[in-house]
Chains A and B, each alone.
Chain A
Amino acid sequence: MIKLEGVTKIYSTESVGLRNINLHIKAGEFVSIVGQSGTGKTTLVRLLIAEEKPTKGKIVIGDWDITKIPSGEIPYLRRQIGVIFQDFKLLPKKTVYENVSFALEVAGEKNKHIAQIVPQVLDVVGLGNKMHRYPRQLSGGEQQRVAIARSLVHRPKIIIADEPTGNLDSLNTVEIIEILKKINEFGTTVLLATHNREIVNELRRRVITLRSGEIVSDEITGKYRL
């Protein structure tokens, strides 16, 4: 599903994001990428959504070599991947419904289909009754659930979550992780970048540990070891 071969990202001579990363994530896996701040987790996420290009190496998603992707094709790649960010990245001037439907509208989905699917997805994340509110009228946990709904709505095969619970309290953290687990149960590959020890230990799934931009461990049923 996702393959990284000898991926290196160098920002400057003193700032190296990733060093010689070799990684293979299979379809349907739930993988946690752990490491302290500045170890390269976010760099990895940025490379996977083509927000940045690697200095060296090759990244393949499905049959798509995204290291050679032309800029005009990047939107198509991003429509295949659901991304959840720590700071939610919701459009503040759009309602909950519009934020979620936007992901489908840019992909050219029909209005009828959008009108059917968006309320369903919002029900899944428990926000069916708040679809006409604006992000500022929601709590942090609710905003993150909107972001999850947006990432889910076009039924992506991969969900990448970059510190999705970083701005949330423990109760909301548990809820968000439960939603991600549920998404994974339906067959979606989930890639979770986090430095939350409790989450990783609770999940008991594959754990890849990064340190100074390098993979220091990759365990099938791992724990947070830093």
Chain B
Amino acid sequence: MRAVYRVTKYALQDLGRNLGLSAMTVFILVLMLLSVNILWGVDVLTQQATSMVKEQINISLYFKAETTDENLTEIKKYLSILPEITEMFAISREEVLESFKSRHQMSTEVLSALEELEENPFGPTLVIKTREPEDYKKVLQAVDVPEYDALIETKSFEGNEEGIEKLQNITNRIERVGFGLAALFAIISFLIIFNTIRVAIYTQRIEISIKRLVGASTWFIRGPYIVEAFVFSLLSVSITFGLIYLGLKFVDPYLSIVFSNGFTLTNYYNSNIIWLVGIQFVSVLLLTFISSGLAMRKQLKV
């Protein structure tokens, strides 16, 4: 216990008496963490945007007027076994008619033509949503059988096929670029932290060897650096998250315009705060531990 107290005391003394170096180390860690968080934020926004676009895409199967409720129930039952389908709902003939009328309420010609028919010319519509845009092909293949083909008037998806494929390609590419950037940032961050800590320890190399010659054990020499790494990690993560929340105050109003579903980065950070702070704190701590351990090896050989 006495040793822990002394190691902590040395660490705090070192931090205070090397204030410039300590401040510079924290500053570099904050810059690195901010860069990682910006990349992270961009990735979250990309994912959010693509999932929003994906959600808006669906297949509509427009059935012929003679399609009965039994036919519709049978098709629904048949399609429900497909695991790709996440949501499916039917719009009745009456609802389709009402929707058509309200869409064309300004066009008297269309409405009078409809009245001349004396009966509802529309069949029911089945709206289907799938997990991924490419799953629509499977659904279309599933209904592409003679007994259902005779009942289906049109499939609204067919025209959008090219657009969906393009979107899929773009999202795949964004994911790949995002992964590459994340890997690049991880390497750069490691090198920055490693060099920052190495410089900090290099300036204290003579002190380390003196401590060794006076009879300090490895733990007594390494201990203060471990405590310092903890303090650096705590300070840098706290400052970074303070700055992030400050920045989000300016960014979120713009996001609420783009994302109609009410998504904001503040909400995202709030709901993932423990995980985000935890992973970044542990990463910085581990990196500083490893860096200081590697940088100190030579000095500890005395």
Interface of A with B (CB < 8 Å)?
A: 49, 51, 72, 75-79, 83, 85, 89-94, 102-103, 105-108, 110-111, 150
Distance in angstroms between the alpha carbons of A55 and B79 in the assembled complex:
83
Query: 0/1 per residue, B59-90, Cβ < 8 Å to A?
Result: 00000000000000000000000000000000
Interface string of B164-202 (1 = CB under 8 A from A): 000000000000000000000000000000000000000
B214 at the interface (CB under 8 A from A): yes
Within 8 A of A (CB), among B194-224: 207, 210-218, 220
Cβ-closest chain B residue relative to A77: B215
Query: Is B14 part of the contact surface with A, judged by Cβ < 8 Å?
Result: yes
A77→B213 CA distance, assembly (Å)? 10
Given contacts A51-B302, A93-B17, contact A75 B210 (CB under 8 A): no
Identify B220's interface contact among A77, A83, A106, CB under 8 A: A106
A75 touches B217 (CB 8 A): yes
Q: Knowing A93-B17, A105-B6 are in contact, say whether A79-B207 is a contact too (CB < 8 A).
A: no
Cβ 8 A contact of A106, one of B17, B18, B211: B211
Q: Does the CB pair B14–A150 fall under 8 Å?
A: no
Interface residues of B (CB under 8 A from A): 2-3, 6, 13-14, 17-18, 207, 210-218, 220, 302
List residues of chain B with CB within 8 A of the CB of A85.
Answer: 213
Q: Is the interface of B mostly helix, strand, loop or mixed?
A: helix
- Is the CB–CB distance between A107 and B17 below 8 Å? no
A-B contacts besides A51-B213, A103-B215, A108-B3, 6 pairs, CB < 8 Å:
A51-B302, A75-B216, A89-B210, A106-B211, A106-B214, A111-B2
Complex CA gap A94/B218 in Å reads 19
- Judging by beta carbons under 8 Å apart, are B210 and A91 in contact? yes
- CB pair A150 B214 closer than 8 Å: yes
With contacts A91-B211, A93-B13 taken as known, whether A106 is within 8 angstroms of B216 at the C-beta atoms is yes
The 9 sampled A-B contact pairs (Cβ below 8 Å) are A75-B216, A78-B213, A78-B214, A85-B213, A92-B207, A93-B13, A93-B207, A94-B13, A106-B220
Determine the chain A residues whose CB is within 8 A of the CB of B213 once the complex forms: 49, 51, 78, 83, 85, 89
**Complex CA–CA separation, A76 to B220 (angstroms):** 13
| Contact status B214-A102, CB under 8 Å | yes
Contact status B215-A93, CB under 8 Å: no
Chain B: CB-nearest residue to A109: B2
Bound-complex Cα distance A51 to B212 (A): 9
